[in-house]
Amino acid sequence: MLTATFFGHRDFDYSPYRDKVRAVIMDLIVNHGVEEFWNGFRGNFDKICAEAVYDLKASFPTVKNIMVLSYHHRRGFVLPKYFDESVYLLEKHVPPQYAISYTNQEMVLRADFILSGVCRHYGGAYAACIFAKQKKKEVLDIFEDPLCGE
């Protein structure tokens, strides 16, 4: 089963790119056979991606939208409506300050495609995209002038 995951900035305004994100996700489903989308759901880019996959599920009901947790479930955790399920990918104990970066690396290793909303040369999303390029993963960028992989 082919998978795709998302990396972008927490606080960037992606609303002008909503249609582009949806078009890339649709292409991944229709032309590449992606059936699972993994999403850390930690910021603005993740939310736009989660919404796009959620909306496309009406036309492609076999597609799964999976929330990837960086920490074990906490009491009172409620899965956001966009997602079919959640997973925790880390097989070893990781100190909390490293949980997100280790989870991002694991998502890269397990994904077939990366959708990048990276437009800054710093931060966890940027580091994840650089790691993806090093691992020879296909990184699709929503920006005309991608910074990922420079």
pLDDT band at 33 (very low <50, low <70, confident <90, very high): very high
User: Residues 77-86, buried b or exposed e (16+ Cβ, 10 A)?
Assistant: eeeeebbeee
Distances (CA, A) of 39 to 24, 43, 69, 78, 144: 15, 10, 9, 15, 23
DSSP 135: T
Where do we find the tokens 């991608």?
146
Where do we find the tokens 């009491």?
75
Domains, the chain, with CATH or none: 2-141 (3.40.50.450)
Backbone angles phi, psi at 51, to 5 degrees: -65, -40
Q: What is the mean pLDDT of the chain?
A: 92
Token pair of 62, please?
Answer: 């076999």
Q: Using H for helix, E for strand and C for coil, what is the string for 69-127?
A: ECCCCCCCCCCCCCCCEEEECCCCCCCHHHHHHHHHHHHHHHCCEEEEECCCCCCHHHH
> pLDDT tens-digit profile of 66-123?
999 998 767 888 999 999 999 999 988 888 899 999 999 999 999 999 999 999 889 9
pLDDT at 127 over 60: yes
Dist CA 43 CA 40 (whole Å):
8
